[in-house]
Structures are given as structure tokens and as C-alpha cells.
Amino acid sequence: MRTPATTTRRAAALAAALALGLTGCTAEEEGPAPTPGVTADTVTIGTHQPLTGPAAAGYSAVSAATSAYFAYVNDNGGVHGRSIEYLVKDDAYQPQQTNEVVTELVEDEEVLAVVNGLGTPTHSVVLDYLAQEGVPDLFIASGSRVWNQPSLYPNAFGYNAEYTTEGAALAQYASEQEPGAKVCVLGQADDYGEGILEGVEAVMGGNEITEIQTYTTSMTDISVQIGALKAAGCEVNILGTINGFTALAVATAAQLDWFPQWYVSSSGADYPTLVGHLGEEAAAQLLEGMVCVNYLPYGPDNEWTALFRQINDEYNGGAPFTANTVLGMSVGYLFAEALAAAGEEPTRESLIAAVESGTLRGNGIVPLSFSETNHGGYSTVGIMTVEDGVQDYNGTTYEVEVGQVSEVEADPVPLLNGGIPAG
């Protein structure tokens, strides 16, 4: 005979079983969990950028330009019918703050991907976290080779030419244009400056560098470093400096009545930004003949540049048009290209697969070449010079592979479909 307790237990068990069954049916009806950052109408991504702090001058323009490009895309139908929402978090170029804002993007904002996070010391602190969370870590704005390790960081992809690539290209050009000159290096005291130096050494050999000096971004005076370069008799100074310190180096040298040749990495050679630091009259005198490297469309006659100027005027409030404007819009184009290739229902997995597929071309002086085994950005760079206040490519283009520098022909990616990837 059933007791009340037995009946009660059996009723409770039956109710629990029914609840489990209903839960299972609901889960089956709902299907797989939605992809973070993706709705029927939008795709939300994020980034960390130095909107304030020592790297803000020039670099704060990058994300504004990317946002302007996305606004242009959204007004023209988006990608697969979805608008792109770009959340920009200020990290002030401080690694601890980078960690905080990237955590917010992933855990609070639930972004699909982090795109173009800027800076070697800053992005390094979130690299492992993004890998553990499986968040696509796309087109990092830094030339560190750390990002190009697919076996360790299958979700991370570089964008900028590696610092070693730029250092090697600058050293090669110096050896061809200034044979026998005393070549020296001034670099930031981190992976950035070390990478530039490593590239120079790969071409020249360490013993052929006359003097090496470093600085930190907390400094406001580098007269000691510049004085040491002058005392060593340096004739060509290769700089691994951000824009503010490029201007400080050139101005400090002028105060010492010293006017060597300046060969500058892409991260610190944007002429309009340097004019902002130095003033037009001083820049015209001190930067004439400055040599630098780049890999993105630039110059007064470039079709991409013309489009980006139009977008800048219409969607970016006519902000100053600089190389960082081009960088921001170019990386925006590349993300849109990746999103189009990821399919009509993008996931984090399909986005990474799209980048590794090898079909993305970017918009640089040569096509990009991402693959399953290559997560690096540009390995080919062009030489630019400043002549009569105009910064443009001079026709010399180098491909750098494992420190070996070869001169090649540029193969610019043409502008198609109004600069919006077909979805």
C-alpha cells in the first residue's frame, strides 16, 4: 500500500522529470546560443585606443577614422544587411587600463571581436585573456612579431608591418643612399624600439651601428640621448619613435644646431601630425628630406586617399587628414572585408576562418597574405620621403623575409565598389 510519503515522493519525482523534459524541449526549440555581438541588424566590435595620455597625439585619430568609415558603410547598406557598431575604449596607453577596458568589452559589452587594439605594451597584457575567451583578436595596431604565433594565439592577427621589417627596410635604404655614413638608432625602450634595432642589425650588423640610444614615454626631455648621438658623429638617425618623440628628437637636435638625416618608422613619421607638434615653418625646414616607410595607400593622387578624404569630410567632421586617418579607415575596410567573407550569419569561428582563408587583400601597396600559418600583417613596405612639404612614396619598395631585404615592385590593391566589400 502506498503511503502519503511515497505518493508525495513519486509526485515530486514525476514533476521533476516533466520539468527536465520541458527544459530539454525548450533548449532544442531555441537552438544554439547566439553569437556574441551579432543581432539581426548589427555587429558590435570593440577596441582599446590611447584617446588620452602620451600616445594620444596622432593616434587618437585612428579610431575616429575607423568609426567614420563604418558610418559610411552603414549608410550604404552595411555588410550582409548589418550595421557595424564600433565601441572605442580609452586606455591612455596604460597596460593596467587596457586590461580593464578590454574586460569590459568582452564581458559587459559582449563584442564579437576586438579590432585594431593599439600598442605593444598595452595589447600584450590582454593577449592571453582574449585567447582564453576565444575572442577574435584582429588586426592589432602594433608591429610586434608576438601576434604572429598561430599555434599559441590562433585567434590573434597582426596588421602593421613588423618593427623588424621596418628597421631592416630603413637600414637597407640608408646603406644604398648614404654608403659609408655613420648610422645610429634611437628607439623606444620596449618591443617597439628593440624590433627596429633588430631589423637594422639584420642588415648592417651590430658592430656597424655607431650609437644606440633609448627613451621611455614618460620622459619629457631627451637632450641627453640626442646629445650622445651628436657627439658620436651620427649622420643618419634611424628612429623607432612615436610621433611626439620624433618631433622632440628633431627639435632637440635643431636646438643643438645639428641637422642629420632622419629615417623614421611608420609609427612616428606622419608629416601632418609632426607639423602639429613643430609648427609649419619649423617642420618645413626640419623635416625636408625625412625618409620613412609605409605600406598603406597615401599620396595626393591615390584613389583610396581620395575616397578616405571624402569620408573624412562627411563622417569625421573634416578632422585633420593624416596617415593615421588612412590607417584607421584601412583597418575598417579590412574588417568589413573579413565580415563579408565570414558569411551571412557570422560567428567568431567563421570570422577567424575568413581571415585565415587567404582571400582577404586589404588595400595596401601589396595584397595581404594571411593564412593558417601566417597571422602577420604587411611584410612589404615602401619608402616615402618629404619633398617641399609633400610626403609620398618615391618608388622604392622592399619585401623583408627573416631579415633578408629584396627590392620588389609595388602591387597596389585597386579600389572597387566604392571601397565597400561585397557581402
Within-domain flag for 33: no
Q: What is the mean pLDDT of residues 316-333?
A: 95
Within-domain flag for 125: yes
pLDDT digits (tens, 9 = 90+) for 51-93: 999 888 788 999 999 999 999 999 999 999 999 999 999 999 9
Contact 120, 190 (CB under 8 A): yes
Within-domain flag for 396: no
Total domains in the chain come to 2
Co-location of 99 and 130 in the same domain: yes
Contact 10, 53 (CB under 8 A): no
Q: What is the mean pLDDT of residues 10-29?
A: 43
| CATH code at position 314 | 3.40.50.2300
| The pLDDT value given to residue 55 | 83
Co-location of 131 and 181 in the same domain: no
Co-location of 182 and 285 in the same domain: yes
What is the band of 31 on the pLDDT scale with cuts at 50, 70, 90? low
360, pLDDT greater than 60: yes
Q: What is the mean pLDDT of residues 195-200?
A: 96
> What b/e readout covers 161-172, taking b as 16+ CB neighbours within 10 angstroms?
bbbbbbbbbbbb
Q: How far is CA 330 from the centre of its chain?
A: 10
Co-location of 185 and 204 in the same domain: yes
Q: What is the mean pLDDT of residues 27-53?
A: 86
Within-domain flag for 180: yes
pLDDT digits (tens, 9 = 90+) for 123-138: 999 999 999 999 999 9
What is the band of 205 on the pLDDT scale with cuts at 50, 70, 90? confident
Q: What is the mean pLDDT of residues 173-183?
A: 96
Q: How far is CA 272 from the centre of its chain?
A: 19
How close are the terminal C-alpha atoms of the chain, in Å? 70
Within-domain flag for 212: yes
347, pLDDT greater than 60: yes
| The pLDDT value given to residue 25 | 44
Co-location of 62 and 147 in the same domain: yes
- The beta strand positions in 325-421, using DSSP E, are 380-387, 390-401, 404-407
320, pLDDT greater than 50: yes
Where among 294, 321, 354 does a domain terminate? 294
Within-domain flag for 407: no
Helix (H) or strand (E) holding 295: none
Co-location of 155 and 206 in the same domain: no
Three-class SS state of 419: helix
Angle CA 75–319–422, to nearest 5: 30
Co-location of 319 and 261 in the same domain: no
> What b/e readout covers 338-354, taking b as 16+ CB neighbours within 10 angstroms?
bbbbbeeebbbebbbeb
What is the band of 10 on the pLDDT scale with cuts at 50, 70, 90? very low
Within-domain flag for 13: no
Residue 275 belongs to domain spanning: 163-294
173, pLDDT greater than 50: yes
Co-location of 50 and 153 in the same domain: yes
What is the band of 301 on the pLDDT scale with cuts at 50, 70, 90? confident
| The pLDDT value given to residue 227 | 98
| The pLDDT value given to residue 58 | 80
Co-location of 107 and 154 in the same domain: yes
Q: What is the mean pLDDT of residues 268-280?
A: 94
Within-domain flag for 409: no
Co-location of 46 and 137 in the same domain: yes
Co-location of 66 and 79 in the same domain: yes
Co-location of 143 and 266 in the same domain: no
| The pLDDT value given to residue 299 | 80
pLDDT digits (tens, 9 = 90+) for 234-268: 999 999 999 999 999 999 999 999 999 999 999 99
| The pLDDT value given to residue 57 | 79
Where among 257, 272, 294 does a domain terminate? 294
Where among 294, 329, 359 does a domain terminate? 294
If we measure between CA atoms, which residue out of 299, 370, 314 comes closest to residue 337?
370
